[in-house]
Amino acid sequence: METTGYRLSVEGKTGEEATIRLAGRLSLDDLEPLMADLQAIPGRLMPRRLSVDLAGVEYLDSAGALVLIELQNRARALSIPVDLLNVSEKDHGLLSLIDPELLQRPPLRPEIVQSPILETMGELARRQFRDFQEIMSFVGELITALVYCLAHPRVVRWADVMFYMKRAGADGLPIVALISLLLGLIMAFMSSLQLKQFGANIYVANLVTIAMVRELGPIMTAIIVAGRSGSAFAAEIGTMIVNDEVNALLTMGFDPTRFLAVPKVLATMVVVPILTVYADLFAILGGLIVGVTGLDLTAFTYIQQTKSSISIFDFVTSLIKAIVFAVLISGIGCQRGFQVRGGAEGVGMSTTSAVVSAIFLIVVFDSAFAIMLYYVRH
């Protein structure tokens, strides 16, 4: 038989004054049975007055104090006055810390209720529409700020532009170069397994070059920059929002979009095309390594085949795509940063949203470019 750490006895008859004598330990370990025993007494006896004698209580923790407060609330709901007798100074201090009124209020965080699927879909659509409105509003503000800065170059914080060019460009070059080199190696090796069956090893250079310059170079570079710099932009501005630094800029008369977003956008527009060129070169280098070491091609032959497979049009359109991707990455990163509400959790959510949204937009715009450039070429 399970034993409890407390002892309870009741003295008094139904309708008369009653006394509950408690002894032992009133603690969290016996919370449920103690609560059940005490809550049943007022409704069963319905006394004119109820006294609770705590002379024998050896230990009382916050859970035990909560049970006594709940007993008082239960009795008062039945219009029964309750007295606590022989309360030690220590136990009295603990009981005074609990506010009975707060126990009757609803919790700060309401219980999560599963919504019907149609209601959930409607709420999701409403959030998406509101998010679209906020993005369009920020796009208007950003375009206005960029046009103003083009007309007044002196207002641009060029020191910050150079700082972000270093952080997004020079600091990101090693990872871009490494990934592009490995990507070129993989494409050249995998394609050679098929092409050498037909004696077409020479066309490995065409495949690697066309794939990288037209598609993979800009999109892979953009995804890397989105993960490195887009998330950093969102976290930086989001932290400033949380610390009220953006409100301080407004108070001093600065335009936050012009002060914070424009340097990031300009820096990204400069460095992403440069990183794309480096990505193309290192991917071609990776293909060259496979061609020379595994396909019996000379470096001169591989380079000549590479030069003949691309045109100036391919190179220019690749840079245009890189510039568009740069605007998307920096713009969505800044917008998500300005959207932050709350504390550290809000900053984390905005950072994640900036990366996911940037990659999604990169893929969407790359698809549009692919269709448009196909018809332009033909």
- Residue 369: count other Cβ atoms within 10 Å of its Cβ: 21
Phi-psi region of 17 (alpha: psi -120 to 50; beta: other; left: phi over 0): beta
Q: Where are the domains of the chain?
A: 6-103, 155-377
- Would you list the DSSP string of 109-163? SPPP-PPPHHHHHHHHHHHHHHHHHHHHHHHHHHHHHHHHHHH-GGGS-HHHHHH
8 A C-beta contact, residue 20 and residue 41: yes
Q: How many CA atoms lie within 13 A of 108 on its CB side?
A: 1
| Sign of the dihedral through C-alpha 222, 224, 227, 231 | negative
Q: Which pTM was predicted?
A: 0.68
356-367 core/surface letters (b: 16 or more CB in 10 A; e: else): ebbbebbeebbe
8 A C-beta contact, residue 188 and residue 208: yes
Q: What tokens does 257 get? A: 């979009």
For 2, 20, 216, 368, the CA distances from 285, given in Å and listed in that order, are: 76, 88, 15, 29
- Residue 183: count other Cβ atoms within 10 Å of its Cβ: 21
Q: What is the dihedral of CA 82, 86, 89, 91, to 10 degrees?
A: -60
What are the per-10-residue average pLDDT scores of the chain (378 residues)?
A: 70 78 82 80 79 82 81 80 81 72 57 70 85 86 89 89 90 92 92 83 88 91 92 90 86 86 92 94 92 86 88 91 94 89 83 91 92 83
For 194, 294, 296, 306, the CA distances from 200, given in Å and listed in that order, are: 9, 13, 12, 14
pLDDT at 111: 57
pLDDT at 362: 93
Q: How many CA atoms lie within 13 A of 146 on its CB side?
A: 15
pLDDT at 99: 65
CATH number of 6-103: 3.30.750.24
Distance (Å, whole) CA 233 – CA 240: 11
Distance (Å, whole) CA 245 – CA 233: 15
Q: Judging by DSSP bridges, how do beta strands 82-85 and 50-60 pair with one another?
A: parallel
Q: What tokens does 81 get? A: 């006055």
Residue with tokens 């009124």: 101
